[in-house]
Amino acid sequence: MVVPETFFAERTSLLKTSEIRELLKWVVEGDIISFGGGMPSPATFPRQWIIKIVTEGISEHGDKLLQYGTTQGLKELRLELKNFMEWRGIKTPSIDNIVVLSGSQQGLDILGRIFINQGDTVLMELPTYLAAINAFKPYNPELIGLKMDDKGIIMESLENTLKELKSKNKKVKFLYTVPTCQNPAGVTLSEERRKHLLELASEYDFLIIEDDPYSLILYEPIHVAPLKSMDTEGRVIYLSTFSKILSPGLRLGWVVADSDFADKFVLAKQSMDLCTSPLLQYIAYMALKKGLIQKNLKEICTLYKTKRDKMLEALETYFPEGCKWTTPIGGLFIFAWVPEKVNTKELVYECVKKYKVAYVPGQSFFVDGSGTNTMRLNFSYPSMDEIEEGIKRLAQAIKEKL
Amino acid sequence: MVVPETFFAERTSLLKTSEIRELLKWVVEGDIISFGGGMPSPATFPRQWIIKIVTEGISEHGDKLLQYGTTQGLKELRLELKNFMEWRGIKTPSIDNIVVLSGSQQGLDILGRIFINQGDTVLMELPTYLAAINAFKPYNPELIGLKMDDKGIIMESLENTLKELKSKNKKVKFLYTVPTCQNPAGVTLSEERRKHLLELASEYDFLIIEDDPYSLILYEPIHVAPLKSMDTEGRVIYLSTFSKILSPGLRLGWVVADSDFADKFVLAKQSMDLCTSPLLQYIAYMALKKGLIQKNLKEICTLYKTKRDKMLEALETYFPEGCKWTTPIGGLFIFAWVPEKVNTKELVYECVKKYKVAYVPGQSFFVDGSGTNTMRLNFSYPSMDEIEEGIKRLAQAIKEKL
């Protein structure tokens, strides 16, 4: 059977493969140092602890954990998440404001599904999380980029965008942001701007999607309040994940939202995968209940801080003049700008082939197509030696282009 | 913030909650015998074996199993699935024709996403699997029902439908079928009709989606060849699941399809949940590799056959005249017709409240809105005593209406 592209639904042509994942596939084979991907260090996975919990869980509750579960998620886990969220300053009236997701990626997909009509306006940071772009695109929105500096979204720029859209009679459906230790830029929205952002959301009547995978992976003694904790109007839909604080292989995330929204999440999820594995949910439940998450966080942050510092030091030592990079207070990434004449998308193939080092070219993170001279560098996965050696190789590749 | 329904995407209004799941939520509380749901018996879950495999898996490969995986799925699992499929008569040129899914429900959702444009024609059995209807509906197809008898879809009826559609210049996108031990009707498509169906698919140029969760759960020594094994043109997309042969709590399914289609599955899945838990995939991999699936099948089939026979016997004993029901050769369900004057959707509330027995009213399984006097009865989950007592109660409720 010959299948022409037109046989598929129109939206299928909007599905794009993530360059990061394509790159990762490459890099798995061969002797390449990779700053691509966004993988936690396997050293942070509590292996023995998970074995113990699975053993106890299946022995005692196997009939429930190996069975179908409810779409909302395990009640026990949602109760623990409610407490966990309160500890983070986010008060929820009921566990029904929390829905367990098969990774926070599923939350992004559901957002697209329940909110985006073709042509709807969605605001995103420049640069922003690539998998969010790819999750929204099949629903065919108009994606508008927002300028950032080292304190996150520039409020004047946002306000101008909002005014302009209003003058065109266009309403914003939602603004998607990773306000803390942003992926890929590594910047954190200041407290003052957080307040301002919420005021603008109220004035211009739009939703804020707060994607918050990294705010507990901090390397400086800075307290950052989630936007959701400052939200008095129910405008913030909060997404987070166990991927960076426990294990990404469990594929567990959650959403916190007003019941109008949470109910729609449940409805959408039901037809997408019925429910998330109760067995995996049980692991996360026990990790919260027994305090493992908080305990492990210290070790994770210590490990990653050392790696971040190593990468910053290597960048300082080896990168040529005309380059700059962010100094993230947390998260897994440093974002770098090389001289404008260097196209990092072209450079990466050479880097992999000749220099045996990989990164993610930044351009695909920019919904306006800019960022041709940028790159995202992950420091959580590579070893200390690889960080030193990899940055050295990368610097050589860049120098050769200048 | 007040959220009017119009704030959501248009497709959100097409999302429907499954009556089965709503019913299940009820039934969990209280002393009710439930023939609703489609849950395997927890007695079939290989608890100790799963504990052993998780322990070994995490000890030896924890860095991989607790990490992000590829979207396609674990290579080892896809290799085992390739062998497993060959044992079932389905030959695949490469493991890239197999994509691991987060439950076969995810496969249904992906089918809708990659194939259905608004108004596209999709054919489904009368009755058909409710979660398939709910997965396709958000994409707004025209769902057309196909009449069945005890040998499955009636080919003359299908041919007439195809001719009529052709005369209107309408093409069928795909036909969705559960050809073996159908959910909910419990019937199996005969071999002759299988051949005829494939011929019609070729003649009228449409795809067949073969959803095959039950074909190994057989109670008679009948060999049923999957449609996919007879497919010479790559028209059949085959879906299956580990839910009934291992554990539904693992949320694992898979699709077998020509590479044109399999590639699109991967693309869609990537933005939906990145990947399925490698830890859970490892359990299924070992279950295939070590022969556990085949070994357990014998026990599962023996257990369920006894339960099916018990339910058939109870129906014969207690149900009033004017009722009829299917005698499934496998699967988890018996489908019953009560006298036409009884509306089973109305009856079920009374059954639950007064008689403490639940079933799924059949009407929602019929895309043409018929089946008001039908019900689906699950026999895998309730105990032998519950089957006897529950059917007795149900018979009383029906008799009261006559």
Q: Where along chain A do its domains lie?
A: 5-46+294-401, 47-292
pLDDT in the model for residue B12 = 85
Residue B206 and residue B170 in contact, taking contact as beta carbons nearer than 8 Å: no
Mutate which: A277, A283, A300, A381, vs B, most B CBs within 10 A: A277
Whether residue B289 is predicted with pLDDT greater than 90 in this model: the reply is yes
Per the omega criterion (within 30 degrees of 0), is the bond before A184 cis?
A: yes
Residues of B in contact with A251 (CB under 8 A): 102, 273-277
Q: DSSP secondary-structure letter at B330?
A: B
Mean pLDDT score, B340-369: 93
Residue (of B126, B81, B54) closest to B282 by Cα position: B54
Closest CA to B148 of B119, B120, B123, B121: B123
CATH class of B47-291: alpha beta
Strands (E), B22-181: 33-34, 98-101, 121-125, 142-146, 148-149, 152-153, 172-177
Query: Is there a contact between B247 and A66 if contact means CB atoms under 8 Å apart?
Result: yes
Mean pLDDT of A108-129: 96
Q: ∠ at Cα B74 (B72, B78), nearest 5°?
A: 80
Q: Which of A200-204, A243-247, B2-6 has the lowest mean pLDDT?
A: B2-6
Name, in order, each residue with C-beta under 8 angstroms of A235's C-beta and a sequence gap of 6 or more. Answer: A198, A201, A202, A206, A207, A208, B1
Residue B30 is predicted with a pLDDT of 67
Token digits of residue A190: 């200041």
Residue A63 — pLDDT band, cuts 50, 70, 90?
very high
Helix (H, G, I), strand (E, B) or coil at B158: helix
Q: Give the C-alpha separation, B348 to B30, whole Å.
A: 16
pLDDT of amino acid B256 = 98
Query: B261–A62: do the CB atoms touch at under 8 Å?
Result: no
Structure tokens at A141: 């929105």
Cβ contact (<8 Å) for B68 and A271?
no
Average pLDDT on A340-364 reads 93
Answer whether B264 sits within 8 Å of A15, measured CB to CB: yes
Contacts of residue A286, defined as CB under 8 A and 6 or more positions apart, other chains included, come to A53, A57, A292
* Least Cα separation, residue B196 to chain A (angstroms): 18
Mean pLDDT value across residues A311-339? 97
Q: What is the C-alpha separation between A133 and A131, in angstroms, rounded?
A: 5
Which residues of chain B lie closer than 8 angstroms to A16, CB-CB?
267
Residue B18's pLDDT band (cuts 50, 70, 90): low
As a whole number, the mean pLDDT across chain A is 94
Identify all chain A residues contacting B243, using CB atoms and an 8 Å cutoff. Answer: 68
Mean pLDDT of A57-71: 97
Q: Is the pLDDT of residue A310 over 90?
A: yes
Contact A270 B47 (CB under 8 A): no
Question: What pLDDT is recorded for position B27?
Answer: 61
What's the average model confidence in pLDDT over A247-271?
96
A5-46+294-401: CATH class: alpha beta
* Shortest alpha-carbon distance between residue B132 and chain A (Å): 8
Residue closest to B244 by CA, chosen among B178, B309, B150, B189:
B178
DSSP H or E run through B48: helix B47-65
Instruction: Judge: B250–A277 Cβ closer than 8 Å, yes or no.
Output: yes
| pLDDT, tens digit (0-9, with 9 covering 90-100), for B171-206 | 999 999 999 999 999 999 999 999 999 999 999 999
Predicted pLDDT of residue B37: 86
Under the banding of pLDDT at 50, 70 and 90, the label for residue B391 is very high
Average the pLDDT over A206-212 and give the result. Answer: 98
Residues of A in contact with B114 (CB under 8 A): 8-9, 12, 15
Substitution target from A66, A174, A208, A241 for chain B, most B beta carbons within 10 A: A66
Q: Provide the b/e sequence for A350-373 (b: ≥16 CB within 10 Å).
A: ebbeebbbbbbbbbbbbbeeebbb
Q: Evaluate if residue B24 carries a pLDDT over 60.
A: no
Instruction: State the Cα torsion B6-B11-B12-B17 to the nearest 10°.
Output: 140
d(CA A194, CA A192): 5
pLDDT of residue B179: 97
Instruction: Give the DSSP H or E segment for A307.
Output: helix A292-318
Q: Which residue has the tokens 């890099």?
A: A27
Nearest to B47 among A62, A117, A120 (CB): A62
User: Residue A97: helix, strand or coil by DSSP?
Assistant: helix
Q: With CA atoms as reference, report the closest residue to B54 among B62, B45, B63.
A: B62
Residue position matching structure tokens 């080292």: A150
Q: And the tokens for A384? A: 């200390």
Alpha helices (runs of H) in B230-341, residue ranges in sequence order: 259-273, 278-289, 292-318
In terms of CA atoms, which chain B residue is nearest residue A4? B260
Alpha-carbon Rg for chain B, nearest whole angstrom, is 21
| Contact call for B248 and A9, based on CB within 8 A | no
DSSP symbols for A191-229:
HHHHHHHHHHHHHHT-EEEEE-SSTTSBSSS-----GGG
Instruction: Give the C-alpha separation, B122 to B138, whole Å.
Output: 13
**Residue B4 confidence (pLDDT):** 83
Distances (CA, A) of B377 to A10, B312, B366: 39, 11, 16
pLDDT at residue A21 is higher than 90: no
Q: Do A248 and B67 touch (CB under 8 A)?
A: yes
Q: How far apart are CA B336 and CA B185, in angstroms?
A: 8
Please state the separation of Cα A4 from the chain's center in Å: 35
Note the pLDDT of residue A274. Answer: 94
Taking the C-alpha atoms of residue A166 and residue A163, their distance in angstroms, rounded to an integer, is 5
Please state which CATH number belongs to domain A47-292: 3.40.640.10
What pLDDT is stored for residue A222 in this prediction? Answer: 85
Best of A100, A254, A258, A274 to mutate (most B CBs within 10 Å, chain B): A274
pLDDT confidence of residue B378: 97
Q: A208: which 2 tokens?
A: 């804020």
Look at the pTM and tell me if it is higher than 0.90. Answer: yes
Tens of pLDDT, residues B303-334: 999 999 999 999 999 999 999 999 999 999 99
Amino acid found at A199? E
Helix/strand/coil for B101: strand
**Residue A11's pLDDT is what?**
85
With contact defined as beta carbons under 8 Å apart, do B324 and B336 qualify?
A: yes
- Comparing C-alpha atoms, which of A372, A343, A342, A348 is closest to residue A360? A348
Phi/psi for B243 (5° steps) reads -60, -40
Q: What are the start-end ranges of the E strands in A11-116?
A: 33-34, 98-101
B168 token code pair: 């209107």
Residues of A in contact with B139 (CB under 8 A): 9
With CB atoms and an 8 Å threshold, state whether B21 touches A71: yes
Question: What are the angstrom distances between the C-alpha of A43 and each of A300, B59, B170?
Answer: 9, 13, 57
Nearest chain A Cα distance for residue B174, angstroms? 11
- Cβ–Cβ < 8 Å for B190, B179: no
